[in-house]
Amino acid sequence: MVHRHARTAARTALAALGALALAAAPSAVAAEPAPTAGPVPGAAQTLGADRAPAHLLQALGRDLELTPAQASERLVNEAEAGARAGVLRNSLGDRFAGAWVRGATSAELTVATTDAADVPAIEAQGATAAVVTRTLAELAAAKEKLDAAAAGRDTADTPLWYVDVPTNRVVVQARSEAAGAGFVRAAGLSGDGVAVEVTEQRPRLLADITGGDAFYINDEARCSVGFSVTGGERPGFVTAGHCGDPGDPTTGFDRTPQGTFEASVFPGRDMAWVATDAPWTPTAGVKAQDGEVVQVTGSVQALVGASVCRSGSTTGWHCGTIEQHDTSVSYAEGRVDGLTRTTVCAEPGDSGGPYLAGSQAQGVTSGGSGDCTGGGTTFYQPVNPMLADFGLTLTTAAEGAAAPLPQDGDTRAWTAGRVYEAGATVTRDGVSYRCLQTHQAQSGWAPAGTSALWQRL
């Protein structure tokens, strides 16, 4: 059941964010103390979305059929919606059942809850309230059962499963109803919380050539630079794990010696990083349309429904929207968990290339189906788990540069370079904050001055 509320302008709604307005809700909701927070400015808290370069707006216009002004409005509204969704997620706690945006430009925010008593509080923040049956945690637990069942069976006929937040269910895509039903039974799941969708498509790795700047592995296979990073004092870049194994040498787009795969995970995840040698130097740039370059400013995770663009050396710069996070894909070469599914097209050779939401790094191309002539589906490995697991620091523009992560110290203290998940709590200058949106902390984004990412407790 969805409760609609007259939506105010995005900046007005975001500026009004402070303590969640639980006073208007029945006692069942008001029993939980509302967190306190200062107001969240509008454009100042879009994390660069209000200053999108022309080539990004042009690509969004081409692929999502928007004018440059509409594309700009969409990016700003999506960035602001992410902050509002974070505030509501933290306040709803265990009742939170997900958030998403819709609309060509307005990025109308919907927040789901399992308790109808939360509706007034959600609507007070300019969002649409959806009252559903299952919490996000329950959906995630159901998907984990599918993950566990997949470990002991052939998933060739059930190549894709994911949490679908807008429909409040887990979806299994299968080659037949029987295959899907058998997978669901093997996971010990039943009822209307799991749906089987029959499809003939099977995702495949896009490993021949990849987006951004091309690079070569063992002077044979060709893949693509994702995002520049540093690992301690070592420069390099992240890419797809299926592109190479630890120790594999690489050459650059000009076929000169470049570096070595330092770490690689595939299957399970699809992530790797390459340490580069001189003269290869990390930059914050990502190749976009017509030779233009987008400057990466951070890694704030975008919501389901948000726009996203991908760079690939086979098909260039293309855009679409995010369909689901936390998707499991069973490729012929092995299963990968934790991918994000998108409507961006791609073709073989685009693997490893970067995905951006505005100027925020999202992930690197893993695989997909279809093509850029008839359209298709792609999956990307999110960048924040790569940064956290490999101990890397994303290279960003000076505006919000990250600092190298220290090797010790208080893990509760806010630290630039650390990846924070939504809901995490930190302290800074004696004040406690809760994270609103998953991201790697940047030195210019301290909690007190970045209320799009942090809520004061």
Task: Write the single-letter amino acid at 86.
Answer: G
Largest CA distance in the chain: 67
125 and 25 in a single domain? The answer is: yes
Q: Number of folded domains in the chain?
A: 3
Does residue 155 fall inside a structural domain? no
Report which DSSP code applies to 193: T
- Is the Cβ–Cβ distance between 228 and 237 less than 8 Å? yes
Summarised one tens digit per residue, pLDDT across range 388-440 is 999 999 999 864 455 555 545 567 899 999 999 999 999 999 999 999 999 99
Of the chain, the end-to-end C-alpha distance in Å amounts to 31
- φ, ψ for residue 27, nearest 5 deg: -60, -30
The yes-or-no verdict on residue 442 having pLDDT over 80 is yes
Summarised one tens digit per residue, pLDDT across range 203-241 is 876 533 233 788 899 988 888 899 999 998 899 999 999
Does residue 24 fall inside a structural domain? yes
Question: At 283, is the pLDDT very low, low, confident or very high (cuts 50, 70, 90)?
Answer: confident
Summarised one tens digit per residue, pLDDT across range 152-188 is 888 989 999 999 999 999 999 999 999 999 999 999 9
Does residue 100 fall inside a structural domain? yes
Question: At 252, is the pLDDT very low, low, confident or very high (cuts 50, 70, 90)?
Answer: confident
Does residue 360 fall inside a structural domain? yes
Summarised one tens digit per residue, pLDDT across range 9-58 is 333 333 322 222 222 233 333 334 333 333 344 434 677 888 888 888 98
303 and 419 in a single domain? The answer is: no
Summarised one tens digit per residue, pLDDT across range 50-97 is 888 888 898 999 999 999 999 999 999 999 999 999 999 999 999 999
Q: Scanning the structure block, which residue is given the tokens 């008593």?
A: 117
311 and 259 in a single domain? The answer is: yes
**Looking at the DSSP assignment, which residues form a beta bridge with residue 319?**
309
- Is the Cβ–Cβ distance between 74 and 61 less than 8 Å? no
- Helix 177-186 to helix 136-150 angle (10° resolution) is 100
- Is the Cβ–Cβ distance between 70 and 53 less than 8 Å? no
282 and 223 in a single domain? The answer is: yes
The DSSP string of 214-269 is EEEETTTEEEE--EEEEETTEEEEEE-GGG--TT-EEE-TTSSEEEEEEEEE-SBS
pLDDT given for residue 409 in this prediction: 58
CB proximity list for 375: less than 8 A, separation 6 or greater: 343, 345
Percent share of the chain, pLDDT over 70: 86
223 and 325 in a single domain? The answer is: yes
338 and 437 in a single domain? The answer is: no
Give the global pTM.
0.79
Considering only residues 112 and 255, tell me which one the structure prediction assigns the higher pLDDT: 112
**Looking at the DSSP assignment, which residues form a beta bridge with residue 327?**
162, 339
Host H or E run for residue 74: helix 68-92
CB proximity list for 407: less than 8 A, separation 6 or greater: none
Question: At 269, is the pLDDT very low, low, confident or very high (cuts 50, 70, 90)?
Answer: very high
Indicate the residue among 104, 131, 158 that finishes a domain.
131
Full domain range(s) for residue 24: 2-131
Report the chain's mean pLDDT, rounded to a whole number: 85
Summarised one tens digit per residue, pLDDT across range 327-355 is 999 999 999 999 999 999 998 878 899 99
Rounded CA separation 457/452 (Å):
14
Percent share of the chain, pLDDT over 90: 65
389 and 421 in a single domain? The answer is: no
Does residue 334 fall inside a structural domain? yes
Report the CATH number that the domain containing residue 25 is assigned in CATH. 3.30.300.50
Any idea which residues carry the catalytic annotation?
A: 242, 270, 351
pLDDT given for residue 6 in this prediction: 35
Question: At 378, is the pLDDT very low, low, confident or very high (cuts 50, 70, 90)?
Answer: very high
Report the CATH number that the domain containing residue 414 is assigned in CATH. 2.10.10.20
82 and 11 in a single domain? The answer is: yes
